Amino acid sequence: MISANLLAIFYLISGILFILALRGLSSPETSRQGNLFGIIGMAIAITVTFLSIDNFSSGFLYVILFLLVGGSIGAFIAFKIPMTAMPELVAGFHSLVGLAAVFVAISAFISPEVFNLGTSGNIKLASLIEMSIGAAVGAITFSGSIIAFLKLRGIMSGSPITFPGQHILNLLILISIIVLTYFLCLNQSPNFFWSLIAISFLVGFLLIIPIGGADMPVVISMLNSYSGWAAAGIGFTLENTALIITGALVGSSGAILSYIMCKGMNRSFFNVILGGFGGTDQTSGKTNKEQKPVKSGNADDAAFLMKNASSVIIVPGYGMAVAQAQHALREMVDSLKKNGVKVSYAIHPVAGRMPGHMNVLLAEANVPYDEVFELEEINNDFANCDVAYVIGANDVTNPVAKTDPQSPIYGMPVLDVEKSKSVLFVKRSLSPGYAGIDNDLFYRDNTLMLFADAKKMTEDIIKNL
């Protein structure tokens, strides 16, 4: 049994390591170090929590067993999951955090004596409020993350699902959660508690179904924030310092990231957080592809254009991730550099459906960090660029975002690829991107479509170079 003072010191050390982890993850150069800090901090928190238990009953063995089972499943998924499935994996893991918060709240409500919260029917008021908040936010996180997972996985349509009076219904349900919490604190009836959880699960579904694919990266970040606040709320209930610190860090950093992403995509933070309030119709902005001429080429054409260029900008996207073409891309860039061509990479904040997706893939292929630029840093360079090589990036290069007020991506900052002298667009077909709309860039006079698998096309270009 570890003393309370020593326990607090170790929890404080864990908290500091979590802060250092977030700091490290803010830059590709220090991300590995940040990840290591996070692992060490969590290992310390788990170890001292076990050491703080003064009564090792038979139930302790079940805790160890489930910890090993859960940890093994998590490790297996982490090793096997491809980078292309990372967005839905994140959404799935968020759902588990929310569900864990709900289960802890249920345990604390049924057996408050175990948690030193009082007795059944006479739970401390502060603990009851914390428990209610943790359970409600956890339930919303769980059901909302399930919908996000289904949309990202393609099991459910990425288009918004709306109906008349939807926002009024959401508002009434949120008010009912507050009312139920009040009456729960008043008489501590189990009926109010179970009703609170059930309605919170419903809110999660209703908040996420009206959000379209174009805003899904913000949703992932927002649900990340929710999971943190749910953990922090339960941390107060359990009087666990490490859980409070970790939950607050995740909740606040997720909220800040959501705000930054909304600002970067020209979206209203409150509109997204309230469930797509004021969102545009996802079906608008679609065009008839058959009526437009498209110029298509092959690897030989692409190699000729790039070989005779003085500057090339690479725009990687989700298609590159699906084809795992980052290593071939790096090899192609090396060949261009040998021919004296200046090459740089342009990354959109949400390329690949979540922040940092493309940066991780390029780092995996050992692409130098000083060649990778964010949208704000490189967008002006497209006007002076000879060739833009777009490899699977769709919505983030669509000029419609700047011209069509009816488009679901209108106002979202996009890469000004169309300003390049020549655009080489690698794509399997003319199918729309995740936002569900046609890309006007396909039909521009300076665009040459390269219909093929991204990795195969890039490898063919290398041969021609």
The catalytic residues are 395
Please answer whether residues 27 and 260 qualify as being in contact, where contact means their C-beta atoms are separated by less than 8 angstroms.
Answer: no
Q: How many CA atoms lie within 13 A of 135 on its CB side?
A: 27
Closest CA to 293 of 120, 69, 63, 447: 447
The Cα 310–Cα 336 span in angstroms is 10
- Only one residue has tokens 């891309």, namely 329
- Taking Cα atoms as reference points, which of 280, 435, 432 lies closest to residue 350? 435
Kindly list the distances between the CA atom of residue 38 and the CA atoms of 49, 76, 277, 317, 327, in Å, as whole numbers in the listed order.
17, 19, 36, 29, 29
Residue with tokens 């990425």: 158
Query: Dihedral of the CA atoms 394, 397, 403, 407 (nearest 10)?
Result: 30
- How far, in Å, CA of 354 to CA of 321, rounded? 12
Confirm if 46 and 7 have CB atoms less than 8 A apart. Answer: no
Query: 216 vs 119, 158, 160, 202, 317, CA distance in Å?
Result: 43, 9, 11, 19, 16
